[in-house]
Amino acid sequence: MSTKKTSIAAILTCYNRKDKTLKSISNLMSQQGLEEFDLAIYLVDDGSTDGTSDSVKQQFPNVNIIKGDGTLFWNGGMRLAFAKAMQVGYDYYLWLNDDTNLYKDALKRLFETRDLAKDKDIIVTGTIIDPEGREENYGGRRQKDKLHPITFLLVEHSDIAQKSDTFNGNVVLIPKAVPNSIGNISEEFSKQHNGDIDYGLRAKYAGFETWVAPGILGECSSNPIEGTIFDESQDLKQRMKQMRTPKGVPPAKEWMIFTKRHGGFLWPYFWFRTIVRVIFPFTYLFLRRPTK
């Protein structure tokens, strides 16, 4: 008598980086023990012009490709893919960035960590490293302290599973109980920022723990500082221009929502501090200098 396989929906979004997207999906499809699962892949192609959809369909014909109009970015693309998958219903949802390359035992270690929680529904994330510098850059995030409620430090990898407060969205295994309870990524976050961190915190408030799987699960290049609003070599005009790009800073309204939701009574300070950092970076660095 055959047993029903655990169903997983992998959720990705992409835009004009065909080779990275194909490599990420290929690594996912090469996972150890994949035959033990019923895997479906949902990919939002947010208006790519480099032939991403055609190449994915040719190499991986079973991928569910959802077309975007170029305005979704990470939050919107992941939200749309997540919504499509939830309409079908799966035991687990696997968030995966299309520039994240999983090691072959990543999925196995995610579920091994999940099994440590016995019958409790938990979210499991994994530590990712930069392929060049080999430094850890994405994964579980812990709140710095009560005075810095929206400063989240990376949980350094360990040989044992650890708990975190929230996570980056590079690789995250989410049981169906979580979206059944808190729903999708918040619609308040429209571009590149805060949708993943906010989702992890909302899950925490709803009683769900996030655990970080042991070891390193994959690789993803770090986002560069050069040419962004935090590049101190840029003048004010350049930084102000960068503010209006999707990868600049969260729109003021979105950042206000995030800080009000998670920053406690000091949220106006955290909201204003970001503006100071952009317009007066040297003042910001002076205020953050170490004290003896």
Average the pLDDT over 5-18 and give the result: 98
Helix (H, G, I), strand (E, B) or coil at 168: coil
* Co-location of 70 and 28 in the same domain: yes
CATH number at residue 101: 3.90.550.60
End-of-domain residue from the set 190, 219, 248:
219
Same domain, 209 and 275: no
Same domain, 255 and 117: no
pTM: 0.87
**How far is the C-alpha of 214 from the C-alpha of 208, rounded, in Å?**
19
Predicted pLDDT of residue 241: 57
Confidence of residue 290 (pLDDT cuts 50, 70, 90): very low
Average pLDDT, the chain: 88
Beta-bridge partners for 218: 102, 128
Inside any domain, residue 225: no
Q: Are 142 and 263 within one domain?
A: no
Which parts of the chain fold into alpha helices (H)?
18-29, 52-59, 73-88, 106-116, 177-182, 195-205, 236-243, 252-262, 267-279, 281-287
pLDDT of residue 62: 97
Q: Do residues 93 and 176 make contact, with C-beta atoms less than 8 angstroms apart?
A: yes
pLDDT (0 to 100) of residue 270: 77
**DSSP 8-class letter at 278:** H
Eight-state DSSP code of residue 226: T
Predicted confidence at residue 277, as pLDDT, reads 63
* Residue 283 and residue 162 in one domain: no
Flag whether 279 is in a domain.
yes
Strand-pairing partners, residue 93, are 9, 174
Question: How are strands ordered across the β-sheet holding 140-145?
Answer: 148-154, 140-145, 166-167
Which has the higher per-residue pLDDT, 44 or 255? 44
* 159/263 same-domain check: no
Residues 186 and 105 in one domain: yes
Residue 124 has pLDDT above 90, yes or no: yes
**Percent of the chain topping pLDDT 70:** 82
> What's the pLDDT tens digit per position in 215-237?
999 999 996 555 454 555 556 55
Same structural domain for residues 149 and 261?
Answer: no
Tokens of 187: 């619609």
Tokens 């409790």 map to which residue? 120
Answer yes or no: do 208 and 172 share one domain: yes
**pLDDT score at 287:** 47
Residue 202 falls within a domain, yes or no?
A: yes
Over residues 145-158, mean pLDDT: 93
Please indicate, yes or no, if residue 130 is contained in any of the structural domains: yes
Count: domains in the chain: 2
- pLDDT score for 292: 42
Last residue of a domain, one of 219, 254, 271: 219
pLDDT at res. 198: 97
Q: How confident is the model at residue 268 (pLDDT cuts 50, 70, 90)?
A: confident
**Domain end point (choices 162, 188, 219):** 219
Q: Is the pLDDT of residue 191 over 80?
A: no
Measured CA distances, 231 to 70, 153, 156, 239, 280 (Å): 26, 21, 26, 8, 12
The pLDDT tens digits of the residues spanning 79-121 come to 999 999 999 999 999 999 999 999 999 999 999 999 999 999 9
Q: Is 227 part of any domain?
A: no
In a domain, 269, yes or no: yes
Same domain, 190 and 277: no
The predicted pLDDT at position 256 comes to: 83
In terms of domains, do 95 and 210 share one?
yes
Q: Which of 63-67, 126-130, 218-222, 281-285 has the lowest mean pLDDT?
A: 281-285
Let me know if residue 172 belongs to a domain: yes
Which domain covers residue 141, as residue numbers?
6-219
Flag whether 112 is in a domain. Answer: yes
Q: In the predicted model, what is the mean pLDDT of residues 149-165?
A: 96
Confidence of residue 190 (pLDDT cuts 50, 70, 90): confident
Residues 65 and 156 placed together within one structural domain of the fold: yes
Task: Encode pLDDT of 195-204 as tens digits.
Answer: 999 999 999 9
